[in-house]
Amino acid sequence: MTVVTRFPPSPTGYLHIGSARTALFNWLYARHCGGKFLLRIEDTDRKRSTQEAVGAIIEGLKWLELGWDGEAVFQSRNAARHAAVAAALLAKGRAYRCYCTPEELTEMREQARREGKPTLYDGRWRDRDPSEAPAGVAPVVRIKMPRDGKTTIADLVQGEVTVGNEQLDDFILLRADGTPTYMLSVVVDDHDMGVTHIIRGDDHLNNAFRQYYLFAAMDWPIPAFGHIPLIHGADGQKLSKRHGALGVEAYRDMGYLPEAMRNYLLRLGWSHGDAEIVSTQQAIEWFDVAAIGRSPARFDLAKLESVNAHYMQASANARLVELVLPFIEKRQGEPVGSDGRARLLAGMDGLKPRAKSLAELAGNALFYVSRPQHPLTNAKAAAMLADDAPQRLSEAAGALAAADWKAASLENAVRAYAEAHGVGLGKVAQPLRAALTGSNASPGIFEVMEVLGKAETIARIQAVPGVTAHA
């Protein structure tokens, strides 16, 4: 059997972080089994579905590098097929037309509440002759569910789950206007797409029992179900925006790497021993639904930052340059020239260990592509250029002019100057840092000087107010 999984988002908003994890688990299981991962856009809610949301979902999946097999299926285009299945169930005697008016249904529910009973449809049209139908009432089509006994589903994550069949009412397949319901559309599409494993959030667990019988009513193979606990915030409450539950594109725009996001989402509810950093290839090799925990995972933004920092350090410098350029160009409002790109590449080894995101990396790297503007906005750096700092910089520039322009030689020259003038190295190095970077923190200042080059370094020193130009 070829394993076929699917990810079926509704295009009513962005790709939520919880939905992204569901997509990842389906993708990994399909790849682990050598099967197929399919995408279905469940756009039957025409009032709330938007093309913008479709684009956001597809863009989010592409950014996460969760490629699907074949073309995306749009559920709304299959409405005629869904209605045909409802007609087939009517012909088999496994569904029936219900002529209850809205008023009758309301009274039915209110009476059930008064009697302390579940507010389920009572099946009053299940065995009645359609000739008794009241005039002017367009019927819905309902499935005939079992009324006695129990149903057990062997869930791949939750284990055996059992419900009493009295809790499963005859739900609607076709509305009075002839349009199919979500429950019908999902089952028909899953069958037609050959889905073998339905892996989704445990908020759909109740639906599984209804869908189970709809598959059975059509004599179709019943897929395996696996229901994943939802993600909670650090406080144990249901994940929301206040916990950092944003759309996937927001994490991209904050500067997280797709491989870091995949690794982090993977560990939200799934584990393989003590492994925290799991490459995509390892994840495909190791992933199994049985290893998904039954307790809700907790979203931790600090942990995501830590994982992202690891992947940034492991990334090739040239790739990081290309990824960070849009962040830098957005901040400075203009393209980065070839000199700036070259400096970014040369200085990346010193930059990337100091950042947890591309946005942070961009902020740290700005000095390589543009000169500090005086007076400095960084108060601590500005303080480093006060008092006798301009004199020190003037003299240091003279000492540096004759040095071989390599970090080690530059450090030796500055140390020699400091010793000759009886001052600590910091009295010279810190003003140099402020002059060259506009900040009080940066990669090693001698590395910075080597990357900037002699002409740029001297020019930045000379731009500090009070520094005497060095010939």
Domain ranges across the chain:
78-181, 250-369, 379-462
| Strands 150-155 and 159-164, sheet pairing | antiparallel
Alpha carbon distance 9, 467 (integer Å): 62
* CATH 3.90.480.10, applies to 78-181: no
CATH architecture of 250-369: Orthogonal Bundle (1.10)
* Active-site entry in 241, 330, 380, 406: 241
The answer to whether 214 and 184 are in contact (CB under 8 A) is yes
Alpha carbon distance 60, 64 (integer Å): 6
CATH topology of domain 379-462: Arc Repressor Mutant, subunit A (1.10.10)
Residue type for 155, please? D
The answer to whether 4 and 196 are in contact (CB under 8 A) is yes
**241 belongs to the catalytic site:** yes
Q: Position of tokens 């492994």?
A: 275
Pull the structure tokens for residue 78: 């299959």
Indicate the pTM of the whole model: 0.92
pLDDT at 245: 62
pLDDT at 13: 85
The answer to whether 113 and 145 are in contact (CB under 8 A) is no
C-alpha distance from residue 88 to each of 94, 98, 168, 438 (Å): 9, 16, 21, 74
pLDDT at 82: 98
Q: Do domains 250-369 and 379-462 have the same CATH topology?
A: no
Helix, strand counts (H, E) of the chain: 19, 12
pLDDT at 118: 77
pLDDT at 246: 77
Residue 430, CA atoms < 13 Å, CB-side half-sphere: 15
CB within 8 Å of 103: residues ≥ 6 apart: none
Chunked into runs of 10 residues, the chain (471 residues) has average pLDDT values of 96 91 98 98 88 94 97 96 98 96 86 80 87 89 95 97 93 96 97 98 95 97 96 79 76 97 96 94 96 92 96 98 97 94 98 97 97 95 95 93 93 95 95 97 97 96 87 42
